[in-house]
Chains A and B, each alone.
Chain A
Amino acid sequence: MEALLRFGESIVALIIGLAIGAVILYYAGYSPWEAYYQLFYNAVLDKYGFARSLAEAAPLILTGITFAVGVRAGLFNIGAEGQLYFGALGAAIVAWLAYRMPVLNSPLGTIAAYALGVILASLLALIAAVLKVWRGVHEVVSTIMLNWIAFWIVEFMRIHYLFDPHDATKTIPVPPGARLPILLPDSELSATIIVSVGFALLTYYLLWYTVTGYELRASGLSPKAARYAGMDPNKSIIIAFIVGGVAAGLAGAGEVLGRPPHYAITSGLSNLLNMGFDGITVALIGANHPIGVIFAGILLGVLKSGASYMQIFAGVPLEMVRIIEGIIVIALAVPGTLHMVREYLQRRKKLTQLREQEAGKSHGFEGSGLQPSGAQQQ
C-alpha cells in the first residue's frame, strides 16, 4: 500500500517535472510539444529507440541498487561511480589478456571479465566499509575520495598498459567471442539489461526474504534495536557495501562487455562518466526499493536516449534534458509539500467536526466542562 502510494508520488513528480520543463522549453524558444513528442516517440515507441533506452538503463539500474542498498543499511554510499570504473577496468584487463590467451575469446572470457570486475569493484567498496567500521570515517568522504583514486588508476592503466595499439584513445576492445549477445540485431541492446534486472530482483529477494536482508534493514533503521536483537550493525554495513560494489562492478564490466560500438574504456572514461552518480537519482526516484529502481532506471534511460532524439529532430540542446531531470528530482520533494497541505486541510476538517460534536453536548463548547464526559474515540 505504502509502496503503491510512493509509486504514485513518483509519477506525479514526473508529470510536474515535465510540465515545468515544458514551460522552460517554451520560453527558450522551442516547441515543448515537438520536443516531448520526439523524445518519447523515439525513445519509447520506436523499437530501436527503446532498445537504446534499455541499454542506457542497464548500468543505471545497477548503480541505483548500489545507492539504494546503502540507504537501506543507513548509509549514503556515493561510491558507485568509482566502483563502476573498477568494474570496467576488470573487464578491460580480461580483454587485454584475451589477446594473449585465445581461450578467453569465449563465454569463459565473459565470465572472467565479470568476475574480475566485480572483485575489483567490491574491494574498492570494502575500503570504504572498513574505514567506516574500524575508524568511523564517514562514507561520503571516503567514497568521494575513492572515486577520484579509481578514476586516475583506470586512466593510468588505460594509457600505459591496456591501450589499443590501433586506436590509443581506448583500451583493447573485448574480442567478439567474449562479448555479451545483442538482444535486438543492429541495436545497442545487449544482455546487460538482463543482468541488471536479474540482479535487482536478487537484491529484492535478499533484502526482504532472507535473514541477512532483514538484519541489514533493521540495522539501517535502528542500530540500537539491531544490537538489542543480537545483530551486528557493522556486519550489515559491510554487506551493504559489498552488495553495492558487486552491483557497480557488474555495471562497469557490462559497459565494456556489452555496449557497442566500443567494447572498451574510452579516453577520459568518457563512456562511463556519471553513470554512478546517475544511480543516486535512480535510487531516489525508485524510493530505494529494488523494484522501483528497475522502473526508475528505465525512465532515466528513456530520458537519456530521448534527449539525443530531441536534439536531432527538435533541435533542443542536450542540456535541456539534464534540466528536466533535475526538476523531476526536485519535484520528488513535492509530495512532501502536498502531504503538508493535505494534513492542514484534514486538521481544519477535524476542527469543524470537533466543534459540532462538542456543541451538541450539554455544556457547549465554551462550557465549564465540569462533569466527566464520555471519552470520544479518536
Chain B
Amino acid sequence: MSGRPAPRVSMRGIVKIYPDGTVALRGVNLDVYPGEILGLLGENGAGKTTLMKILAGFLRPTAGRIIYEGHPVHFRSAAEALERGIGMVHQHLALVPVFTAYENIILGLPPSIIAGARKRIEKLMDETGLHVDLDQIVELLSFGERQRVEILRMLFRNVKVLILDEPTTNLTPVETEELFKALVKLKKQGKSIIFITHKLREVLEIADRIVVMRRGRVVGEVPRSVAEPRLLARMMVGREVLFKIEKPRTTPGQVVLKVEDLWVRRDIGTWGVKGVSFEVREGEIFGVAGVEGNGQAELVEAITGLRAPERGKIFLLGRDITGLGPAELYRMGLAHIPEDRRGTGLVLEMSVVENSILGMHRWERFAKGFFGVIDWRAAEEHAAEIVRKYDVVAPGLHSPVKHLSGGNQQKLLVGREISKNPKLIVAAQPTRGLDVAATEYIRRLLVRLRNEGHAVLLVSSDTDEVLQLSDRVAIMYKGEFVAITRPEELSREKLGLYMGGAAATA
C-alpha cells in the first residue's frame, strides 16, 4: 500500500460484540482514502453495516480505535460524527415524511446556516445531477428521490466521508445509473465514498477498490483493475459458488392456479392490483418480478386468502377459492412462504415443535377429539422430520425459534409448508436476507419441487432469482403485468425497462 496519500479514515482492530453476545466484528482494519469509492462487499451478516455504523457514530465499538484525519476519534453519537464530516445513508431512510424535501435537508441546522440554503442546495443539485423537487412533501416522493434528499442532506453538511448502505436495493436501473454518475462526480471532488453492497455487479461497476468482508473479518482487498466476479464471490462465501442451478426441462401439466381479472385494494384504499390474469401449471415456476411496492404483496395476499379481492376470480385446481381464508386453502393444497418470515411465517417466541404445526394445528393429525386436544407427540415427530429432512440446525426441538439463524428459520418454515403436501406453493421473497448457502439451498429446493410436479408462484424483487428459477416471468408495474414472457427472451436491459415502467409507455 505505498504511493498513496495518507488515509482519511483508519479503523484499527475494531471489535463489536452485541449485548446478546453475538460477535459481529472480530478485529477489523480498514483504510479509506480521499477521492475514492470504496466498495464494501460481503454477504448478509458479514458485518459491513455494523462496521459502518461504528464509523458513523451510530454504534460504539467494543474494542479498537478510529483515526480520522490524523486524530483518534470517539464519536458518542451520529450527530457528532456528522458534524465532523462523516455521514451515512441507511437502507431504510430516515426522513420526516410530512416535511418537504427542502425542510428535511435543513432540518436541525442553525438559522445562520439556513440563510441562503436554497441557493446552495440548488447548486449542489446541479453539480451532482441529483435533482429533486425541493417543495414536494417527502411522502409523495419515490424511493429514489427520497434517497437523493438524504444524500443532499449529507452533502449540504459538507461530509467528507459518505457511507451508502445498499443504496440500490429499491432503485430502478435508471435511478441506479444516475446515482452512480453522481457518486463519480463526488469522488472527483475529493470525497470518500463507501458503498456497502452484496451485489458483485455493482462494485465492479463503480468501486475503485473493493474490500470483502466475511463473518466479521476483512478477508481481502482488491483494486478494481484486477477484480473478477468469481474471485470476489469466492472471497465472499469462502467457497466456489454454484451460480448455475440445473433446471431440467419439464412439460407443464394441468392448470393449478388460475387468476382472472383480479383487482385488489391496498390498506389505504387505492388499487394495489389492477386486473391481473394468469395461470400456473403443474411442474412450472411462474415468477413475478418487479420493484417492490407495485402490487406484488397484495397479489400474494389475495391468492393466499389474507386479503379479499375486490373483483375477479381465483381458482385452485378448478375450484373457485375467491374469498376463502387461509385455513381452508391450506387444506385444499396451498403452501405459503410469506415475505416476512419472522413476523408472519413463524411465531418467534414459540418452539420449533409449536411452529412446525402452525397452520396445520387443526388438522386431524395433530388435533384430537371434540375439544381439539393437541397430540404433542405427533407434533414432535413431525418437527423432528422437518429438522432432519431440511437440515435445520436448532439448539433443540423445544427451544424458541428466535434462537435459530435466519437460514434455519427459513428452512423450518419452508419444510413446514412442504409438509402440507401442497399442489401450489406461493413463495414471496423466499431468499431475502439469507446467506449464500441458505439462498442456494432454498432455490434448489424450489426447483426440485417444480420437478416433482408442484406449481410454484415465485414473487421476488431479486431479478437474478426470478430469471434463474422461473419458467415464465411476469413483470409487475403499478398493479399490472406489463409483460409475461420466458426468461430466455428477457435481457437484463429489457427487464430493467419493464420494471421501471418505461416499456409500458413505449
The 6 A-B residue pairs with the shortest CB-CB distance, nearest first, are A230-B327, A211-B372, A230-B326, A229-B359, A347-B17, A229-B358
Residue contact B17 to A373, C-beta cutoff 8 Å: no
State whether A225 touches B13 (Cβ < 8 A). Answer: no
* Residue A227 interfacial (CB < 8 Å): yes
Assess whether A362 is interfacial by the CB under 8 Å rule: no
**Interface hit among A147-155, A216-224, A269-277, A308-316:** A216-224
The contact string, 1 if C-beta is below 8 Å from chain A, for chain B 22-66, is 110011110000000000000000000000000000000011000
Asked if A157 is an interface residue, CB under 8 A from chain B, the answer is: no
Considering the chains assembled together, what is the distance between the CA atoms of A344 and B18 in angstroms?
9
Complex CA gap A368/B221 in Å reads: 10
- In angstroms, Cα B423 to Cα A110, docked, is 56
User: Once the chains bind, are A369 and B218 in contact (CB under 8 Å)?
Assistant: yes
Are B372 and A210 in contact, CB atoms less than 8 angstroms apart?
yes
Taking CB atoms and an 8 Å cut-off, the chain B residues in 217-232 that contact chain A are 217-221
Closest B residue to A361 by beta carbon equals B27
Quick check: B220 and A372 within 8 Å, CB to CB? yes
Please judge, given known A-B contacts A354-B26, A372-B235, whether A366 and B12 are in contact too, CB under 8 Å: yes
Find the A residue at minimum CB distance from B234.
A372
Separation in Å of the A208 CB from the closest CB of chain B? 8
Task: Check B26 against A214 for contact (C-beta < 8 Å).
Answer: no
B343 A376 Cβ-Cβ under 8 A: no
A358–B15 alpha-carbon span in the complex (Å)? 11
Task: Say yes or no: A218 contacts B347, CB within 8 Å.
Answer: yes
Residues of chain A within 8 A of B281, CB atoms compared: none
Q: Kindly identify which residue among A217, A227, A347, A366 contacts B62, using a CB–CB cutoff of 8 Å.
A: A347
For chain A, what secondary structure do more than half of its interface residues adopt (helix, strand, loop), or is it mixed?
helix
Could you tell me if A371 and B220 are in contact, using CB atoms closer than 8 angstroms?
Answer: yes
Q: Nearest residue in A to B398 (C-beta to C-beta)?
A: A1
Size bracket of the B interface: 35 or more
Q: Is A215 an interface residue (CB 8 A)?
A: yes
Contact B220 A351 (CB under 8 A): no
Inside 8 A of A224's CB, which chain B residues have their CB? Answer: 340, 343-344
In the complex, the answer to whether A358 meets B27 with C-beta atoms within 8 Å is: yes
- The docked-state distance in angstroms from the alpha carbon of A218 to that of B349 is 9
A to B CB contacts below 8 Å, 24 in the list? A209-B374, A209-B376, A215-B361, A218-B358, A221-B349, A221-B350, A222-B344, A224-B340, A225-B344, A225-B347, A225-B358, A228-B336, A228-B358, A230-B325, A347-B21, A354-B15, A354-B27, A355-B27, A355-B63, A366-B13, A366-B29, A369-B219, A370-B220, A372-B219
Bound Cα distance from A369 to B219, whole angstroms: 6
Find out whether the CB atom of B19 lies under 8 angstroms from the CB atom of A347: yes
Q: Assess whether B148 is interfacial by the CB under 8 Å rule.
A: no
A343 touching B327 in the complex, CB below 8 Å, given contacts A224-B343, A370-B220: no
Closest residue of chain B to A358 (Cβ to Cβ) is: B27
Cβ of B297 within 8 Å of any chain A Cβ, yes or no, is no
- Report A-chain residues with C-beta under 8 Å of the C-beta of B215: 375-376
Q: Add 6 more A-B contacts to A218-B354, A378-B23 (CB < 8 A).
A: A222-B347, A225-B343, A228-B345, A351-B17, A354-B23, A372-B220
In the complex where A221-B347, A369-B219 touch, is A228 in contact with B29 (Cβ < 8 A)? no
Q: Complex: how many Å from CA A358 to CA B215?
A: 14
> Is residue B125 contacting chain A, with contact meaning CB distance below 8 A?
no
Q: How far is the CB of A356 from chain B (nearest CB, A)?
A: 11
- CB of A4, distance to nearest CB on chain B (Å): 13
Q: Does A47 contact B (CB under 8 A)?
A: no
Q: How far is the CB of B8 from chain A (nearest CB, A)?
A: 18
Asked if A365 is at the interface (CB within 8 A of a chain B CB), the reply is yes
> Is A222 in contact with B348, judged by CB distance below 8 angstroms?
yes
**Closest-CB distance, B192 to chain A (whole angstroms):** 20
Q: Are A225 and B221 in contact (CB-based, < 8 A)?
A: no
User: Interface residues of A toward B: which range?
Assistant: 35 or more
Judged by a CB distance under 8 angstroms, whether B259 is at the interface is no
Q: Does A201 contact B (CB under 8 A)?
A: no
Interchain nearest-CB distance for A146 vs B (Å): 30
B371 at the interface (CB under 8 A from A): yes
Q: Are A229 and B361 in contact (CB under 8 A)?
A: yes
CB neighbours (8 Å) of B486 from chain A are none
Chain B residue at minimum C-beta to C-beta distance from A215: B361
A-contacting residues, B193-219, CB 8 Å: 214-215, 217-219
Report the Cα distance A114→B27, complex, angstroms: 67
Question: Quick check: is B494 within 8 A (CB to CB) of the other chain?
Answer: no
A212 at the interface (CB under 8 A from B): yes
A-chain residues with CB within 8 Å of residue B371 when the two chains form the complex = 210, 212
The answer to whether B330 and A230 touch across the interface, beta carbons within 8 angstroms, is: yes
Residue of B nearest to A346 (CB): B21
Q: A225-B345, A229-B359 are in contact. Are A214 and B354 (CB under 8 A)?
A: yes
Q: Does A322 contact B (CB under 8 A)?
A: no
* Most chain B CB atoms below 10 A, which of A214, A218, A355: A214
Report chain A residues within 8 Å CB of B350: 217-218, 221
Q: Report B393 CB to chain A, min CB distance, Å.
A: 11
Query: Given the known A-B contacts A221-B350, A227-B306, are A372 and B238 also in contact in the complex, defined by CB atoms under 8 Å?
Result: yes
B253 CB to closest chain A CB, in angstroms? 28
In Å, the complex CA distance between A367 and B328 comes to: 60
B118 to chain A minimum Cβ distance, whole angstroms, is 43
Q: Kindly state the separation between the CA atoms of A368 and B211 in the bound complex, as whole angstroms.
A: 12
Question: How distant is the Cα of A288 from the Cα of B17 in the complex, in angstroms?
Answer: 32
How far is A354 from B219 in the complex, measured between Cα atoms in Å?
17
Q: Are B367 and A211 in contact, with the CB atoms below 8 A?
A: yes
- What's the least CB distance linking B104 to chain A, in Å? 31
Q: How far is the CA of A240 from the CA of B349 in the complex (A)?
A: 19
* Distance of A224 Cα from B301 Cα, bound (Å): 12
Given contacts A209-B374, A227-B306, is CB(A373)–CB(B29) below 8 Å? Answer: no
Does A11 count as interface, using CB distance less than 8 angstroms? no
Whether, in the assembled complex, B155 has its beta carbon less than 8 Å from a beta carbon of chain A, the answer is no
Residue B373 at the A interface, CB < 8 A?
yes
0/1 interface trace, chain A 223-238, chain B, CB 8 Å (1 if under): 0110111110000000
By the criterion CB–CB under 8 Å, are A214 and B361 in contact?
yes
Q: Among the listed B12, B214, B374, which residue makes an inter-chain contact with A210, where contact means beta carbons less than 8 Å apart?
A: B374
**Interface check B81, CB cutoff 8 A:** no
- Is B343 touching A212 in the complex (CB atoms < 8 A)? no
Given A210-B374, A211-B372, A366-B13, are A375 and B214 neighbors across the interface (CB < 8 Å)?
yes
**Nearest opposing residue in chain A for B31, CB measure:** A368
Residues of chain A within 8 A of B330, CB atoms compared: 230
Contacts of A351 in B (CB 8 A): 15, 17, 62-63
Chain B min CB distance to A134 (Å): 19
Answer whether residue A340 sits at the interface, using C-beta atoms and an 8 A cutoff. yes
Interface residues in B325-382 by Cβ distance below 8 A to A read 325-330, 336, 338, 340, 343-350, 354, 358-359, 361-362, 367, 371-374, 376
**Cβ of B126 < 8 Å from any Cβ of A?**
no
Contacts of B361 in A (CB 8 A): 211, 214-215, 229
Q: Are B221 and A370 in contact (CB under 8 A)?
A: yes
CA distance A239 to B95 in the complex (A): 42
Q: Find out whether the CB atom of A358 lies under 8 angstroms from the CB atom of B220.
A: no
